[in-house]
Amino acid sequence: MREVGQVVVDVRMGLFEFSEKIAHPEEMWVPIRDKTPGVFDDTPEMRRVDDTPENGDTWVMKLSSTGVFSLEVARYRTDLYMAGRGRQSVEDVRASFVEHAVSIAEMFVGQHAGRIGLVARVFYQDDTPHAMAAKVLRTVPADDKVASVLVRYVLHTRFAELEMNDSTSIDSNTVAMVVGAGSGLKGVQVTRDLNIAKGMLWASTQENVTSFLNWAFDTLGLDTIEGALWATTK
């Protein structure tokens, strides 16, 4: 059985390379909940992480919800996640994600993030995922003899004057659960990751965060990847 269309696994915004360290990430849960009432309504998770340079990006506090959002806070970065619910496409979740991401980013302006990234993971259900994923490799026969496909490629693009890292991975080994469709579903997972390259001058203002997120969503280019995945092989 083939189900055409995107299914969002999750979308994530990362703010990282803080120039101002969060000394006590575990103390952030109260102001975050106050600013986002009803969003993070589950019990916060805290873990002991030694304050050493190699642990600067390791989350100390995690806020979750009975809904779709979760937030990880480390000493030098923070990550906001939004999970898909059922057969949602990226466009179905985009507006809500950008709204909440900008709100969260405003809380960390004082940390002066030097970089920002957007990661989107989407799933395409198919009974023959390896053959499906092989279609993106034009020199590989897209038939049932293909046992596994894992492709990753990185481009260097630009957003205004900023150099960007633009990576794509395609994996035929993913088994997914989709609300309303079941668990253990076979298919292909596509991961798109866009982030500002190291060394660029960028400031995490509300305007800059909003501008980046809108550019990143517009740049995902999932329609091109889908065109290859769903192409009919002659």
pLDDT in tens, 48-88: 999 999 999 999 999 999 889 999 999 999 999 999 988 89
Query: Which 8-state DSSP code applies to residue 144?
Result: T
Q: How many domains does the chain have?
A: 1
The tens digit of pLDDT for each residue in 190-222 reads 999 999 999 999 999 999 999 999 999 999 999
**Residue 2: what pLDDT?**
45
CA distance 186 to 203: 41
Query: Which 8-state DSSP code applies to residue 44?
Result: P
Tell whether 234 is covered by a domain. Answer: no
Torsion of CA 97, 173, 58, 38, to 10 degrees: 30
**Residue 146: what pLDDT?**
73
Tell whether 80 is covered by a domain. Answer: yes
Tell whether 177 is covered by a domain. Answer: yes
Tell whether 113 is covered by a domain. Answer: yes
| Residue 11 host element (H or E) | strand 7-18
Confidence of residue 144 (pLDDT cuts 50, 70, 90): low
Mean pLDDT of the chain: 89
Q: How many other CB atoms sit within 10 Å of the CB of residue 204?
A: 20
Tell whether 64 is covered by a domain. Answer: no
State yes or no: pLDDT of 93 exceeds 80. Answer: yes
DSSP per residue, 119-139: EEEEEEE-S-HHHHHHTTSTT
Query: In residues, how long is the chain?
Result: 234
CA distance 7 to 230: 15
Q: Tell me how many degrees the CA angle 10-210-119 measures, rounded to the nearest 5.
A: 25
Residue 83 domain boundaries:
7-21+76-229
Confidence of residue 142 (pLDDT cuts 50, 70, 90): low
Tell whether 217 is covered by a domain. Answer: yes
The tens digit of pLDDT for each residue in 152-195 reads 889 889 998 999 999 999 998 888 887 777 788 888 999 999 99
Confidence of residue 233 (pLDDT cuts 50, 70, 90): very low
Burial of residue 219 (number of CB atoms within 10 Å: 0-12, 13-18, 19+): middle
Tell whether 69 is covered by a domain. Answer: no
Tell whether 51 is covered by a domain. Answer: no
**Contacts from 39-46 at CB under 8 Å and sequence distance 24+?**
39/65, 39/67, 39/69, 39/100, 40/64, 40/65, 40/69, 40/70, 40/71, 41/65, 41/66, 41/67, 42/66
CB 104 within 8 A of CB 12: no
Q: Tell me the two tokens of residue 181.
A: 């469709």
Burial of residue 203 (number of CB atoms within 10 Å: 0-12, 13-18, 19+): exposed
Percent of the chain with pLDDT over 70: 92
